Amino acid sequence: MVLSRTKQTVKVRLIISIIVGMLVAAGCNKKDSGSLPDLTSEKKHAETTRHEMGEMSPAHKVLVEVDGKTLTQGEADEKINKSLAPFKGRISENQLSQYREEMLKQLVEEFVTRTLLTAAILKNGVTVSDAEIADAMSEITAQLPDDMTLEAVLSTSGMSEEELRSEIKFNLQISKVVAAQAPDKKTPTDKEIEDYYISNKKNFEVPESVHARHILIKVEKDDDQKTRDAKKSKAEALQKQLATGADFATLAKESSECMTGKNGGDLGTFHRGQLGSELKPLEDAAFSQEVNAISPIVETARGYHIVQVLEHNQPATRTLPEVKDTIANSLQQQRMQDALVKYIAALKSKAHIVYAPEVEPGKK
């Protein structure tokens, strides 16, 4: 899929898919923010802050202070507990503890970066229109897999739609601030694009694939032989209907016991090994039969399948013209990403940041 059609879309996709991680990763490209300049007033302030960090009750303990704004242990715990809630009972307490420790340090770094960027947004008077937010929402929805809705993603992540809109607004504001600071705003040249293509040609190889559909008659683990035989007979009857001209999609909608039935049994396009060991017999059948042919009954751990291949694509390497826009977008994104890292580093170099010892960068 072509990644963008306009510069605005480049920014949207970069910011939506990368910037949250960058907010944390950018913390690696910083000075030792806990070491304050050798000025008497700042030393006293740091000593007072560190004393308060150690003396306050756990919930009110300050984990980090950024130009007078603070993140407390209680605030951090609330966010971490919300994020980890879906995993309780599903992973061990030891794993939860490890995740909690990692998330705490990430949360602290994100707070530092977001605080500095928020101040930069206000200082520069950056605004984002409702239309820009709506475009970004549409872009996010378009990138989701066909079987996934935005509502489901938000529900799983514990984020409301309003929170997502707020995050989009913040991220778009950041993109505008960074774009203004970026030293190189030029579109990648044809030579740069060609050089990237040659150096990364392997990444543009497309493996052999098939586009197939199927009808499934499910078999349960506790089915006895009589039940299994009856289900196989049902599958064979369907196979005969198809062999005599019945419409595959219609029959799949009426008879398939797979969730793909509602889509005419469409499995989409897949490569070898992509379906997993459980469905390997189905995969083998799909890659070995003729296009549009109706397969014999294929048995897997899930039951009895009838397979039809709609397309069989041989291995190929995408040409430079085919991927030119994608490469140009990737290079542009990388420039924006590099500019973001440099900008955050510059903000941190001028900021007054004090960490609690246990979350200070570089300490394990």
Instruction: With a cut of 50, say whether residue 42 has pLDDT above it.
Output: no
Residue type, 207: P
Which 8-state DSSP code applies to residue 62? Answer: E
pLDDT for residue 158 is more than 90: no
Q: Please give the single-letter amino acid code of residue 249.
A: A
pLDDT at 290: 96
Among 44, 43, 32, 49, smallest CA distance to 356 is for: 49
Q: How would residue 11 be classed by pLDDT, with cut points 50, 70 and 90? A: very low
Model pLDDT, residue 86 = 77
Contact 8, 136 (CB under 8 A): no
Q: Enumerate the β-bridge partners of residue 308.
A: 213, 294
Q: From 303, 256, 258, 301, select the one nearest 277 (Cα to Cα).
A: 301
Neighbours of 148 (CB within 10 A): 12
Domain ranges of the chain: 7-189+321-359, 208-314
Using DSSP, state whether 75 is helix, strand or coil.
helix
For range 13-31, the mean pLDDT: 37
- Each residue of 249-300: pLDDT tens digit? 999 999 999 999 999 999 999 999 999 999 999 999 999 999 999 999 999 9
Q: Which residue has the higher pLDDT, 225 or 13?
A: 225
CB 47 within 8 A of CB 137: no
Domain 208-314 has CATH 3.10.50.40: yes
pLDDT band at 61 (very low <50, low <70, confident <90, very high): very high
Give the Cα separation of 59 and 72 in Å (integer): 7
| Cut 0.75: pTM above it | no
Residue 47 reports pLDDT greater than 50: no
Class at the top of the CATH hierarchy for domain 7-189+321-359 = mainly alpha
Locate 319 and state its tokens: 């040409």
CA distances for 132 relative to 136, 150, 168, 171, angstroms: 6, 18, 9, 11
pLDDT in tens, 305-314: 999 999 999 9
Tens digits of per-residue pLDDT, 203-248?
999 999 999 999 999 999 999 999 999 999 999 999 999 999 999 9
